[in-house]
C-alpha cells in the first residue's frame, strides 16, 4: 500500500472490500460501520483516488454473466515505451486492470466488454495504436479465490 495511507485509510480499504451497502445512503451507512461520517468517508476515498493510492472505486461486474466478454491479455513492451503504451492501452474503457510485470510479457491487462466479440475488436485497436502484438488468453475454466488487500 502507499506510504501516504494512515490507519483510517487502511480501515476504509479493508472495510469496503467485502461489500458496499445497497441503501439510499450507502456512504453514510458505510461510514457508520467505519466510525466516520458520510462526508469524511467520501473525502478520504476521493483523496486516495487523487493521490493514486486507489486507481478505481466502484462495483466489479461479472461481464460474462451479463452477456459480455472477459479476457486476460499480455504484451511485450520495450521498457523505453512502457508508459506511452500503458497510456494508450488504459485509454480503452474496456481495460479493467493493467499490471506491469518483470517478465518478457511485461504488460498484463484484463479486458471486459459488453459483447463477447468486442474483445477481438479492442485487441485489434490496441495493436494498431501501439504497433505491438497483444496476446489474448481467454478463460478456459473459472476458479473463485477470494482476494482482499489489507494490513
pLDDT at position 139, please? 80
pLDDT at position 32, please? 95
**Other CB atoms closer than 10 Å to residue 10's CB: what's the count?**
16
For the stretch 120-129, contacts whose Cβ atoms lie closer than 8 Å and that sit 24 or more positions apart, written own/partner, are 122/92, 122/94, 122/95, 123/73, 125/92, 126/88, 126/89, 126/92, 129/88
Residues of the chain with pLDDT under 50: 1-2, 151
Question: Are 136 and 71 contacting, i.e. CB atoms less than 8 angstroms apart?
Answer: yes
Write the Ramachandran bin of 5: left for phi over 0, alpha for psi from -120 to 50, otherwise beta. beta
Residue 147 lies in a domain: no
pLDDT at position 147, please? 53
Q: Are 82 and 39 in the same domain?
A: no
CATH number at residue 117: 3.30.70.3460
For residue 24, give its domain range. Answer: 7-51
- Residue 25 C-alpha cell reads as 445512503
Amino acid at each position: 500500500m502507499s506510504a501516504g495511507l494512515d490507519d483510517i485509510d487502511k480501515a476504509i480499504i479493508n472495510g469496503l472490500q467485502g461489500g458496499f451497502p445497497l441503501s439510499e445512503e450507502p456512504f453514510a451507512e458505510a461510514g457508520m460501520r467505519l466510525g466516520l461520517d458520510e462526508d469524511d468517508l467520501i473525502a478520504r476515498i476521493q483523496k486516495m483516488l487523487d493521490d493514486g493510492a486507489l486507481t478505481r472505486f466502484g462495483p466489479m461486474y461479472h461481464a460474462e454473466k451479463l452477456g459480455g466478454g472477459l479476457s486476460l491479455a499480455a504484451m511485450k513492451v520495450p521498457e523505453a515505451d512502457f508508459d506511452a503504451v500503458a497510456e494508450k492501452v488504459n485509454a480503452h474503457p474496456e481495460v479493467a486492470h493493467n499490471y506491469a510485470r518483470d517478465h518478457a510479457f511485461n504488460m498484463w491487462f484484463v479486458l471486459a466488454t459488453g459483447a463477447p466479440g468486442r474483445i477481438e475488436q479492442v485487441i485489434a485497436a490496441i495493436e494498431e495504436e501501439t504497433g505491438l502484438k497483444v496476446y489474448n488468453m481467454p478463460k478456459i475454466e473459472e476458479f473463485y479465490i477470494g482476494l482482499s488487500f489489507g494490513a
